[in-house]
Amino acid sequence: MLDERKLKILAAIVDEYIMTGIPVGSKAISNIPGINVSAATIRNDMAMLEQLGYLEQPHTSAGRIPTFEGYRLYVDKLMPSYPLSEEEKKVLDDFLETDVPTADALIQNASKALAELTHCASVAKNVSPQFSVITKVEVIPTGKRMYVLLMITSSGNIKNKVCRLEFDLTNEQLDFFANYMAENLQGVSIDSLSEDTVEKLVAATGAYMVTLTPLIKGVCELAEGFRDSDIHLSGEKNLLARPDIDHAQLAHFFEHKNEALKMLDGSFSDLQVMFGEDGDFVMKNSSMIMSKIKKGDKTAGALGVIGPMRLDYAKIIPYIEYLTERITALISEDDEI
Amino acid sequence: MLDERKLKILAAIVDEYIMTGIPVGSKAISNIPGINVSAATIRNDMAMLEQLGYLEQPHTSAGRIPTFEGYRLYVDKLMPSYPLSEEEKKVLDDFLETDVPTADALIQNASKALAELTHCASVAKNVSPQFSVITKVEVIPTGKRMYVLLMITSSGNIKNKVCRLEFDLTNEQLDFFANYMAENLQGVSIDSLSEDTVEKLVAATGAYMVTLTPLIKGVCELAEGFRDSDIHLSGEKNLLARPDIDHAQLAHFFEHKNEALKMLDGSFSDLQVMFGEDGDFVMKNSSMIMSKIKKGDKTAGALGVIGPMRLDYAKIIPYIEYLTERITALISEDDEI
DNA sequence: TGTTAGCACTCTGGCGTTAAGAGTGCTAAA
DNA sequence: TTTAGCACTCTTAACGCCAGAGTGCTAACA
C-alpha cells in the first residue's frame, strides 16, 4: 500500500512545503532529481496519500499540503538526517557557556539559543523545586523595620522577599528566629509547608509570637513561590512575525503558558513532537518539539521549540538533541547537590 | 480663528473617533446634542480645522480623523473632566495593596492595574539603584562548592547570584570575605564599582587572592545588574489584539523596550502625553501617557500606559493621576530608607 | 499491471466594471 | 453668518471574466 515511492513522494512534499509554505503540486515533485516518474504517476500516488490521511488539499485545484499525520510520519520515518557541522556545534556550545552551570541556567541558555537559531519561540522548563527540601532560611535586616527573607532549597533555587514589620527586631529576636527556622524548617520539604504547619510554627513561638508572625508568614509565601512550575518562553516575538499563526490565539497562549503547557508535567518520552491539532497542545497550525533533560534517572527539566507546523524538523531536532546531550553531560559531571 | 464652536466640534470629533475608530463626518457631529448648527456649517469648520492641522482626511469622501496636534489640543484643553467614582477608586486601591509597600512594588502593581483596566500595555519604571550605595554583601554557602552572593542597596533593592567555586571555602576564608566586603564595600556607591576598583579589591586580598577572586568578580557582576534601568511592561498582549497597531513594530518595541523608552530617563513634567509621530516615542498610531512619581523632591519612578493614539485619555489620565497620587502618599509616609 | 500522455474540468486570484453609499465642497439663498 | 441643495469624488462590495495552476480520468503503451 505505502510502497517506497509513495513515501519518497510524501517526504518530498513535506520538504518542499516546509521550505516554501505553498501547497505543492505534482509537477514540482516530478522535477526533483531522484524521482523519475511522471507527474501523472505522482498524481495517482498523491490521491492515495490523501485518502490515507497524510495529505490534504486546500481546494480542488491547489497542490497538497501535509496533514499532521503526514508530518508525524515524516518526523518518525522519512526525515533526512542532518548531522550537525562542527561550526554549528561550536555555536551551540557557546550558548551553553555559563559561569554557574546549574541545570536551570543551562536549560534557559539553551532555550535562548534555540529561539535565536530557529526564529521560533522556545520553552525552558526547569524542574520544579516543589519536591526538594529547604536548605536554609535567613533573615537579614536591611533598613528601618525592613528585613530580607532568603530561602534556599536543596535543588539550589533561591528566592528572597522583603518584609516590613511594625517594629524593629532586637538582636535577641533575630537570633531566636534564625535558630527557630534552622531547627524547624531545615530539611523540611517545600511541599509539606502547608497552612497547618505554619500555624503550628506560629503557635510555638511563644513570647515572640507577635513580632515574628509576619516573618513566618513571609517564609510561607516564599515556599509557595517555589511550588509554581517554572516555565520560561523565549523568542515570543519570532512567532508574531509569522503570518500563518493566529495572533489572538498566540497572545492567549503566552498569557496562559503555564496551563497551556501543563501537559509537560506528565511523562513524555525523551524527545517528542506534538502537533497543534493532535494531542494536548492546542494551537492551530503549530507544533512543539520537546526534549526531556535527565540527571541520572531523574528529570532535571525540559527544553523545546514552538513554531508553525511547517517547522524545519530535520534541522531543529538535531539542535535540540545536541543541546540536550550536552546539558546532560555537563550536569552529570556535577556531584549531587 | 478658533472660536468656541470650532473647539467644541474638534472635541466632539476626537471623542467620537476615540469611541468608534472610524472617521467621523459632519452629519454625525450635527446630531450631537449641544451642537445646534447644521452639517454644512460643521463642514466649513472642519475644513478650517483641517487647514490648521488638527484634523485630516484619509481620503476625499471620508470623514475626518484627528492628527496628533488634534489629540494634543484635545488632551491639553478640550477633554471632558471625568472624576473617578468611589467604586473606581476602590478598585485602584485594591491593586495597590501590597504587604511590602516599597516604591518599586507599588509602581509595578499600579502598572498591572493599568494594563488590566485600560486593555493597553503599561510601563513601570523603577528608579535605577545605580546612584544608591551598597548596604550589605553576604555570602552564604549552599552546597558543595556552591555559594550564594547577596547584595542589598540603600534603595532597598536586592539581587542574588549563585557562584560555583573550584574549592570549598573554610570558615576562616568565609569570615575574611565577609569582613573584607563589609570594610571595603559598605557605603560604596553602585556606580563607582568599576573594573579598577574590583582589581584593587582583588589585589588587596593577599593570601586569599586565588580563592576569593571569583567571589569578588561575582560581586562586581551583581553591581552591574543594578546599573541597568529597570523598566517593566505589562499587558503586552492587549496591544496585539488591536488591529490598528503594527505588530512587527510592536514586536520590535517589546524586544528593545529599554532603548525605545530611554527618553524616560530625561526629565519630563509630572504627567506627559507623548504621541507616536511627534517626539522621541516612535511607534506609529500609538501614544504613551507617563506620570512621574516623586518622593519628596526626588524621582521614585514612573508609571504609564502605551496604547493606540485613539486612547480614552479622559478616562485613563485620571486613573494614572489617582494612582500616582496614592503611591506618592503611601511612600512619603515612609521614613527615609 | 503499472506508467504515461492528453484532455476536460475546477478552483483561485487578479482585474476591470458597476452601483450604492458616504461625505465633501461649492453656490446661492435666507 | 448660516443653511439647503446639489454635483462631485472616493471607497467598498459585488459581479463577471479570464488566465493559470493543478487535478482526475481515460486511453494507450510497455
Q: What is the CATH number of the domain that holds A97?
A: 3.30.450.40
Q: Are residues B236 and B311 in the same domain?
A: yes
Same domain? For A111 and A223 the reply is no
Q: Is residue A210 domain-shared with residue A164, that is, in the same domain? A: yes
Render pLDDT for A162-188 as a digit per residue (tens, 0 to 9): 888 888 999 999 999 999 999 999 988
Please give the protein residue whose CA is closest to the C1' of the nucleotide C24. B61
User: Which nucleotides of strand D lie within 7 A of protein CB?
Assistant: 2-5, 8-11, 20-26
Name chain B contacts of A161, Cβ cutoff 8 Å: 100
What pLDDT sits at residue A331? 86
When scoring A116, A160, A249 by the number of chain B Cβ atoms within 10 A, the one with the most, hence best to mutate, is A160
What average pLDDT score do residues A203-232 get? 85
Q: How much is the pLDDT for A336? A: 47
Q: Give per-residue burial for B292-310: e unless 16+ CB within 10 Å, then b.
A: bbbbeeeebbbbbbbbbbb
The mean pLDDT of chain A is: 90
Same domain, B278 and B258: yes
Q: Do B163 and A255 touch (CB under 8 A)?
A: no
The residue segments making up the domain with residue A222 are 132-228
Do B114 and B235 sit in the same domain of this protein? yes
Cell 520538504 identifies what position?
A: A15
| Residue where a domain terminates, one of A198, A228, A258 | A228
**Yes or no, beta carbons of B164 and A99 under 8 Å apart:** yes
Average the pLDDT over A41-65 and give the result: 96
Sequence-distant (6+) residues with CB within 8 A of A178 are A138, A139
What's the pTM value of the predicted model, to 2 decimals? 0.86
Indicate whether B20 and B69 sit together in one domain: yes
Nucleotides on strand C lying under 7 Å from protein C-beta: 3-6, 9-12, 21-27
Q: Which of B168, B217, B161, B152 is CA-nearest to residue A100?
A: B161
Best of A97, A99, A239, A334 to disrupt the B interface by mutation (most B CBs within 10 Å)? A99
Q: Does A135 touch chain B (CB under 8 A)?
A: yes
What mean pLDDT do residues A79-91 have? 95
* A138 reaches B (C-beta below 8 A): yes
Q: Give the residue on A whose Cα is nearest the Cα of B253.
A: A237
Distance B59 CA to C29 C1' (A): 30
**What mean pLDDT do residues A287-292 have?**
97
Find the CATH number of the domain harbouring B172: 3.30.390.60
Q: Please check the confidence at residue A208 and state whether its pLDDT lies above 90.
A: no
Q: Of the residues A228, A255, A271, which one is the last residue of a structural domain? A: A228
8-state DSSP, A170: P
Say yes or no for a CB contact (<8 Å) between A163 and B100.
Answer: yes
User: Does one domain contain both B114 and B208?
Assistant: no
Same domain, A321 and A251: yes
**CATH code of the domain covering residue A16:** 1.10.10.10
**Under 8 Å CB-to-CB from A158, ≥6 apart: which residues?**
A150, A151, A152, B142, B148, B160, B162
What pLDDT score does A38 carry?
A: 96
Quick one: B273 and B322 in the same domain? Answer: yes
Instruction: Please check whether residues A297 and A170 belong to one and the same domain.
Output: no
Q: Is the pLDDT of residue A15 over 50?
A: yes
Among protein residues, the one whose C-alpha sits closest to the C1' atom of C9 is: A61
Q: How many domains does chain B have?
A: 3
| Cell numbers representing residue B124 in the block | 513601570
The predicted pLDDT at position B68 comes to: 96
Q: For residue B33, what pLDDT is reported?
A: 92
Q: A99: which chain B residues are within 8 Å (Cβ-Cβ)? A: 163-164
Last residue of a domain, one of A191, A206, A228: A228
- Our CA-based measurement puts residue B303 at a distance from the nearest CA of chain A, in whole angstroms, of 22
Predicted local confidence at residue B337, as pLDDT: 42
Residue A270: per-residue pLDDT = 93
Identify whether residues A316 and A273 lie together within a single domain.
Answer: yes
Chain A residues in contact with B251 by the CB 8 A cut-off are 237, 240-241
Q: Tell me: do B73 and B92 sit in the same domain.
A: no
Whether B304 CB is under 7 Å from strand C? no
pLDDT digits (tens, 9 = 90+) for A56-80: 999 999 999 999 999 999 999 999 9
pLDDT by 10s per residue, chain B, length 337: 789 999 999 999 999 999 999 999 999 999 999 999 999 999 999 999 999 999 999 999 999 999 999 999 999 999 999 899 999 999 999 999 987 778 888 999 999 999 999 999 999 998 777 778 898 898 988 878 888 898 988 877 888 888 888 889 999 999 999 999 999 999 888 888 877 888 888 888 877 888 888 899 899 889 888 887 689 999 998 999 888 898 888 989 998 998 899 888 887 889 999 999 788 899 999 999 999 999 888 888 999 999 999 999 999 999 999 999 999 999 887 654 4
